[in-house]
Structure 1
Amino acid sequence: MTTEPTPARQLPGDPQRFLRSGRLEAMPRRWRDKLAVTRYLAVRAMPVLLEPVTERELTDRLSELTLDPAGLRRAMVDQGLVQRTRDGAEYWRTERTEYDES
């Protein structure tokens, strides 16, 4: 089954080109692509800056966006987009990205 790529997927810097039906199936290999995808999905999963969410809630949100929610959560923390409590019970997005609406 082949699908016609949308114009957004054809842009070289657009993280949506790595998504299939709105979901990330595998993290891109290139660092700048990984960074763009992680920043984009962080905004989709946590649209409100500094809003705390439980680990379970974040995992559920990320499960809708990727096959590897724990890996994406770790990437968001490693890149400094998301902070967490010491025990990992709560997470919140700390960085505004180019994918935020305003």
Structure 2
Amino acid sequence: MLGVLLAFIVRLMPVLMNYAPQLHRLWRIFKESPDDRRRQPPRAPGPDMTREQALQILGLKPGATEQEIVAAHRILIAKMHPDRGGSDYLAAQINLAKKILLGR
């Protein structure tokens, strides 16, 4: 019985390692007490992003076409999406940069 359990754990390990960032995030939420959440000050809204900052985030030069903006956004969001281990903040900044540059 122990051998079967050990074999199961060995086969399950790559799957667990794939989801390690999400599991770590859940563990931190679980460990955090309700008192800790109340003590944190609310986040102040950040300053509005300028067009130059948006270009810098997407790695583009002034005068970039709509196709270049969409392509740069697609490449970055594929790497930084929260579902792929990226952060919510970075994904939001990438999406905001695209929105500003396309004027939508």
Q: Structure 2 length normalisation: TM-score?
A: 0.27
Bigger Rg, which one: 2
Return the structure number with greater helix share: 2
Q: Which structure carries more strand by proportion?
A: 1
TM-score (norm 1): 0.28
